[in-house]
Amino acid sequence: MAEMNELQILRHSASHVMAQAVKRLFPEVKLAIGPAIDTGFYYDFDTPNPFTAEDLEKIEAEMKKIAKENLKIERFELPRAEALELMKDEPYKVELINELPEDAVISFYKQGEFTDLCAGPHVNYTSKVKAYKLLSATGAYWRGDEKNKMLQRIYATAFLTKDELQADLDRREEAKKRDHNKLGRELELFTTSDVIGQGLPILLPKGARVIQLLQRFVEDEEQKRGWLLTKTPLMAKSDLYKISGHWDHYQDGMFVLGDEEKDKEVFALRPMTCPFQYQAYLNRGRSYRDLPMRLNETSTLFRNEASGEMHGLIRVRQFTISEGHLMCTPEQLEGEFKGCLELAIYMLKTLGLYEDVSYRFSQWDPDNREKYIGTEEQWDEAQGIMKKILDNLEIPYKIGIGEAAFYGPKLDIQIKNVFGKEDTLITIQIDQMLAQQFGMEYVDKDGVKKNPYIIHRTSIGCYERTLALLIEKYAGAFPVWLAPVQVKLLPIADRHLDYIYEVKRKLEESGIIRVEIDDRSEKIGYKIREAQLEKVPYMLLVGDKDVEGGTVSIRDRRDGDIGSMSIEEFIAKITEEVNNKTIK
């Protein structure tokens, strides 16, 4: 276990103070676990009634009393039998004790009447817990498994000083304003429907337009870099997934259509594109002259995510991804991996997300062999090759044991949403297993048949997740090239409508500008406020002087009024921003 720093120790202690307050107020509640986390701490409780906002206020007030009581926090140890007797009324603690190794030290921490099973460490008195805030209560399965009972989790945070706490609460308020799940709906980018199902968002016209722009950008850039576009089926027979290993190692995450015991053929919606794209490689015999072979696809995938894991557009059951698989010789591997990484970095920089990411070298867990295919020697070789590549490229990675795909190690490019929750945005994987399983070969210069190395990669990741992160990054105010509506035309009076429609025609003839007219009989100030709320980059106001002079008066959503110019000048200005993919 990694050593805790001062803040983590304080937060861990705050979770005990919170649990003590809950037990005082709701004695029937059973205790689960309460760790410190990056954003604060939480505690899981088994309670017959969900916690309300009023309950959280009462718990906070009771925590304040406990802090004022200045209870000493003391550690003690017990033999297993005595530990089980002490915790006999706490079934989750009993379960945890029973799972400890025979030689484990079983330790507890006591403060006043409250005792909890815990490895520690903690502060020495409850009075040290001063700057804290309970944030929310939500459902959480015991041990994160949906087969287990649903518990109530109280999320909270704590800091060493009240000033640090207030700064964090201010950041959280800003995060709420940027939350894509809220803002994306308000801006009519996407919606959901109970009759369609959880994790199956509906992209509305504006959101669909942003996704379309991203897809065109990605496919064009991939084509420039030598990638060949494929389009493969959305489902396949179980036979395909048995060859790839998905049937044995990933079936719980798949949507299976049929029953193997009853049906002659069982199909499943695809969770990955790789076994499908391999068929393009297998279409005919290959030689070393065909390599590297780079296949890309704008690919819709389906994964049976647990209901508690889904969130807005970030984690869904159907999504579209910038998928790609690259077959190459061992000599080409490092150069091609570098090319995949350069493409990913180019995408991140263009979208303005590059400074927000971190890198994880995801490796297998040798203590959990059933999760993976291949031998220990193959994994050591693949991970050794990848480490050499990453070190040569000077990638500042962290290691994630157990985070590898079942067929190979990967570089995960990680990013956090506005609430600090980390997800994978882009992956680049090295695979020396599946080519052999699928019988993928090439004839080398020496005339010998060999299996190619495969690089699995995404260039921009999942489009829905990327859209969510862009909404949060820009608070819905997309760069001009990505804005679903780039220009809003605002006539000051009805007599300006004919000219406004002529302006619209000229803007649209440019072939690059997306424009709308607000021709409602409303005051111009109201129209400006509406366009501002819609995050439209430019508002073009038209009055008598503009009609007479053949100009438009320009209002920038960020800088306000920036003067008037001819229609041609404005078209040139916005065209340059779009072509350069400018981020203000």
Residues of the chain above pLDDT 90, percent: 85
Asked if residues 260 and 192 have their Cβ atoms less than 8 Å apart, the reply is no
Indicate the burial class of 378 (C-beta count within 10 angstroms; 0-12, 13-18, 19 or more): middle
SS (H, E, C) 307-334: HHHCECCCECCEEEEEEEEEEECHHHHH
pLDDT at 467 over 80: yes
Whether the per-residue pLDDT at 200 is higher than 80: the answer is yes
Residue 494: Cβ-neighbour burial (10 angstroms; 0-12, 13-18, 19+): exposed
Q: Is pLDDT larger for residue 311 or for residue 168?
A: 168
Instruction: Return the pLDDT at 67.
Output: 96
* 161 vs 164: CA distance, rounded Å: 5
Strands 487-491 and 538-542: parallel
Q: Where residue 182 falls among pLDDT bands split at 50, 70, 90?
A: very high
Asked if pLDDT for residue 1 goes beyond 80, the answer is no
What is the residue-wise DSSP string for 114-181? EEEE------SBGGG--EEEEEEEEEEEGGG-TTS-EEEEEEEEEESSHHHHHHHHHHHHHHHHH-HH
Q: How confident is the model at residue 250 (pLDDT cuts 50, 70, 90)?
A: confident
Dihedrals phi, psi of 19, to nearest 5 degrees: -65, -40
Rounded Cα–Cα distance for residues 397 and 378 (Å): 22
Strand partners, 398: 360
Assign domain 190-231+271-473 to its CATH architecture: 2-Layer Sandwich (3.30)
Q: Which has the closest alpha carbon to 425: 327, 351, 478?
A: 351
Residue 473's SS3 state is helix
Predicted confidence band of residue 260 (pLDDT cuts 50, 70, 90): confident
Residue 329, amino acid:
T
Residue 498 sits at the vertex; the CA angle it makes with 496 and 504, to the nearest 5 degrees, is 100
Question: Is 487-580 the same fold as 190-231+271-473?
Answer: no
Fold (CATH) for 487-580 = Rossmann fold (3.40.50)
534-568 residue pLDDT tens: 999 999 999 999 999 999 999 999 999 999 999 99
Token pair listed for 408 = 């190979």
Write down the pLDDT at residue 309: 76
Name the percent of the chain lying above pLDDT 70. 100
Per-residue confidence (pLDDT) for residue 262, from 0 to 100: 82
What's the pLDDT score for residue 2? 56
Q: Say whether the peptide bond before residue 201 is cis (omega within 30 degrees of 0).
A: no
9-46 burial string, b = 16+ CB within 10 Å, else e? bbbbbbbbbbbbbbbbebeebebbbbebeebbbbbbbb
Q: Show me where the domains of the chain are located.
A: 6-165, 190-231+271-473, 487-580
Q: Is the pLDDT of residue 261 over 80?
A: no
pLDDT digits (tens, 9 = 90+) for 72-117: 999 999 999 999 999 999 999 999 999 999 889 999 999 999 999 9
Architecture of domain 6-165 in this structure: 2-Layer Sandwich (3.30)
